[in-house]
Structure 1
Amino acid sequence: MDQTAEIYAAVGTGFEKVAAKEISEKLPVKNCHSGRGNVKFSLDLQNVKSTLELRSVDNLYVVFYENAIEGLTEMEKEKALEVIQNQISFCNWKLAIGAYQLTRGEEINGESERVVEQMRQFMNEGNYSEATEGSPKFRVTCKRCGEKEIHKFSSMDAASKFGAVINNCFGWKCSVKDFDIEVVLRIEKDFMTVMMALNKESLFKRNICSYGPTTMRSTICHCMLQLANIKPGEIVVDAMCGGGSIPIEGALCWKNSVFLGGDNHEMAMERCKQNWTTLSSSTVSNCDFFTWDATSLPFCDSSVDSIVTDLPFGKKIGSKTDNRLLYPMLLGEWKRVIRKGGRLVVMTHDKRSLESSILKDRSSWHTKASHVVNMGGLLCLCLCLINTKTD
């Protein structure tokens, strides 16, 4: 019988349901449910490598221990850390190593059977394992959710103590920066979860080699594009494309649709072309970039199916005073070029200017979806609007 693995997917806060939809559609998962900044789901261990193909997920972890520790919030520091250390013997290390090896395509020294035997000897006989030339490097990080003051210990305390036991038990070498394996402790009040990272590098680090001042993560781009409900043959435009992250992500994932990006800044066009041409493995030709004014686009009336774009926040680019004038002009032009029933997906931190601009022409736009998204600590509004104009 296939072994089941529980996967913890870290996603952009606010886009949890969008990511859960992609996961459910692409993978044979069970019990898929979203929390704040994450989606958890189960699937057969043999299918775990396919999780790396998800486009809306930042990082992936296999959960190999999860339990409530009664009274953890009440314990003194040393007692609490001792209890946390002791949880190592209840962890399903065989599952963790199996999932790691399947996704990474590389073996941990001795594989899962040796790890299980080392744990048995450590717990029953107190045997410490010595590091060898083939021993992997690892680090432990701890993420405490909710009120940090509720515990007598710090996140660093918990990570250090748990890491020391791993080093003693398995002989793995501790390395904070240059590591092969990352073990993550997630502690919320009295509840503790232990996970192992499946991806070596964050999954949002793709597509882009030339970054601008406001380059958006590819995973966030994908979530915005999902909201546009793109169909084969449709024309999708990013009217203010910056470095081209939205059109590039779209062109790679919706290969039967056409993606056009434009900006009025010369440097932006250079970055777009660099980013697109460096994707040498890509054989698709459904993406192109142009210099234009977003308030006066070179399209006929009702000729575009969707516009998906990241508006100027009024922080690094522009100002909120400028946005009060700019946003209504943009919406007016975009209403013209988007066909009736077409979609407009926009993101901004300047929620007031966006909402005010929509209210000025409320009969032309229907809000299909609204998400409050955490973008580097800024709470931003992402809207999917349907063009309801009368022809």
Structure 2
Amino acid sequence: MTGSSHEQTSVRYFCTAGNGMETFLVDEVKRKLSAQHVIHLQGKVIFSSSASIRSIINLKSAERLFLLLKHDTPLKLPAHMNRAKAVSLLQSKLIAQNELSSAAMLWSRLQGELKDRATHGGEIQSPSVGAKRRRENGGQSSALGDKCDGEARNSGQKSDEVRVVNENEERVDSKRKRLDFAHENQCVDPQSELLLPPVDQISFRISCKCSGSLARHFSTQDVSKILGANLTTSLGWMVDLRNPHLEVNVNLTDDYCLLGIPLTKSPLASRSYVKTTGLRSTVAWAMASLAQIQPGSLVVDPMCGVGTILIEAAQEHSDTYFLGIDIDNEQLIKANGNVVYAHLEDRMEVLKASSLGLPLNSASVDAIVCDVPFGRKFGTKVDAAVNLPVILSEMARVLRVGGTLVLLLSPQLSHLVKKTLTQGDAKSNSPEEKELQTEKQDCPSVAASFTKQLFSQGCNNGTVSTREAESPYGQNCTNAVSCLKHEQSFRVSLGSIDGLIHKYVKSDLCFK
């Protein structure tokens, strides 16, 4: 739908998401893009937005981004349908010639906007962008622009200006020749002046997934051949499996028919600000989004690994401080490398310490986010299952009342956490503990100025050695775990295995 001349056109997109991440993606597109007509499918979210493509490619919970071509009801074929009739029905179900031509133009415009973003203007830009830059750059740029428009320059200008003008003029002349040729072949978007090849020279390939009852009639290769032949015949497009201008993505299931064109070559989940990858970036972002991080907060990951969760959080919160703690020297070196690579040295530090004895004051942390290591891939020197009660007690101790704890756990560790919290509730309600509860967590603490010194002086590239033995606080603060009140849980895919994200808030009920 097109608005006034001052409004951008609303475009229909869809994103893919890991299993369990769809809820986060729905919330993100509504909150960040003011998206409308949002549809939640398994592994996908469809939405309309008039936001710039530059904003849309910054979605953090999405895997890949597509321009939507068609979202339709599934194709139902009787079991004994004639093959020729089934092919005819499939062709009619897939996209029409005029729809794909219009989509190709829109795709071209969006690609141009992305190119402008990547090259800070590039060689081809819209007249409005060029005029703005000439105004911003002053008289010389204006003169250059006048020359590009064909106006004569004064003969007394400096040689270096003439050289720049000549180079710019050659570029623009080349652009105009290509525009004239493209206009003759009717394959240019007049609003963006961004080019596709002549209509009979566009190349494409088809990426197809076919499942359910339809797969009994057609394989993915069959669908690709049928759609490809239709595009070649009706539009004159050419198949190119290696380096096409366009890729048509087709998903045919028992629930829907979905077609789209990818808008980026690399997944949105591939972060340009991360040097060494760890936990899947989309899951790390989801955990950070649950932590209720506020300006000026201190956010800690007591088993940070390479620092993925904190780095994702830091991208969203520019006025917050982050501390990553780990016992593994190799992980800390990688984490510190990520901090430097992401230019977060002024807001994030990494520190060597054990999660069994955190070198932090009690009630000094606003939020804790932690991927508790599990499985062979997520191995650690700390046995999380055996030490889980102490780890939880330490997290609860350093977390302030009202603070948020977000954990990523395996199903097995999740069960142990639930058991530990249940036992903590029972123990805190026993007669022996009620007297201790009135002391309001009367525990010894480390130096009061630790946190301030940590961020003002640094941590020697993440290799500072601190107390690594089991915390003495665990025995004195046996009721700490019972203060963690469960709020939300999400099951998310981590590839070959699933993980459970749990959110807790520290309550003051155990102190009353």
- The alignment's TM-score, normalised by the length of structure 1, stands at 0.83
Give distance in 1, aligned partners of 2:490 and 2:504.
12
Deviation (angstroms), 1:190: 6.8
Given the alignment, which residue of 95, 98, 103 partners 1:88?
95
1:303–1:337 Cα contact (<8 Å) kept: yes
Deviation (angstroms), 1:50: 2.4
Secondary structure of the corresponding residue to residue 361 of structure 1: helix
- Aligned residue for 2:500? 381
Give distance in 2, aligned partners of 1:113 and 1:219.
41
Deviation (angstroms), 1:283: 6.9
Give distance in 2, aligned partners of 1:216 and 1:235.
21
- Aligned residue for 2:317? 254
Alignment of 1:309-320 (within 5 A): 309-318=370-379
Give distance in 1, aligned partners of 2:496 and 2:308.
20
The CA deviation string for residues 82-128 of structure 1, in whole angstroms up to 9 with x for no partner, is 43344232662244224423432259995995399xxxxxxxxxxx9
Change (3 A) 1:304 1:67: same
Alignment of 1:7-22 (within 5 A): 7-22=13-28
Residue 364 in structure 1 maps to residue 483 in structure 2: yes
Report which of the two has the higher share of helix. Answer: 2
Secondary structure of the corresponding residue to residue 92 of structure 1: helix
- Aligned residue for 2:171? none
Alignment of 1:6-155 (within 5 A): 6-44=12-50, 47-68=52-73, 70-72=75-77, 74=79, 75=81, 79-86=85-92, 87-89=94-96, 92-105=99-112, 114=187, 131=201, 135-136=202-203, 138-144=204-210, 147=212, 151-155=216-220
Secondary structure of the corresponding residue to residue 292 of structure 2: coil
1:64–1:95 Cα contact (<8 Å) kept: no
Change (3 A) 1:230 1:98: farther
The CA deviation string for residues 62-81 of structure 1, in whole angstroms up to 9 with x for no partner, is 21123336533644666544
Alignment of 1:279-290 (within 5 A): 279=342, 282=343, 285-290=346-351
Instruction: State the percentage of identical aligned residues.
Output: 26
1:338–1:387 Cα contact (<8 Å) kept: yes
Deviation (angstroms), 1:368: 1.3
The CA deviation string for residues 244-302 of structure 1, in whole angstroms up to 9 with x for no partner, is 111111112111111111211111112112222223xx477211211111121111001
Secondary structure of the corresponding residue to residue 490 of structure 2: strand
1:247–1:261 Cα contact (<8 Å) kept: yes
Structure number with greater Rg is: 2
The CA deviation string for residues 212-240 of structure 1, in whole angstroms up to 9 with x for no partner, is xxx11222111111111111111111111
Give distance in 2, aligned partners of 1:144 and 1:296.
52
Give distance in 1, aligned partners of 2:390 and 2:489.
22
- Aligned residue for 1:119? none
Deviation (angstroms), 1:158: 1.6
Deviation (angstroms), 1:339: 0.7
Residue 294 in structure 1 maps to residue 299 in structure 2: no
Deviation (angstroms), 1:164: 3.9
Report which of the two has the higher share of strand. Answer: 1
1:232–1:257 Cα contact (<8 Å) kept: yes
Give distance in 1, aligned partners of 2:394 and 2:33.
39
2:38–2:47 Cα contact (<8 Å) kept: yes
Aligned length: 368
Residue 333 in structure 1 maps to residue 394 in structure 2: yes
Change (3 A) 1:383 1:254: same
Secondary structure of the corresponding residue to residue 53 of structure 1: coil
Give distance in 2, aligned partners of 1:161 and 1:149.
14
Change (3 A) 1:73 1:326: farther
Change (3 A) 1:259 1:115: same
Secondary structure of the corresponding residue to residue 165 of structure 1: helix
Given the alignment, which residue of 260, 265, 275 partners 1:195?
260
- The alignment's TM-score, normalised by the length of structure 2, stands at 0.65
Give distance in 1, aligned partners of 2:351 and 2:242.
41
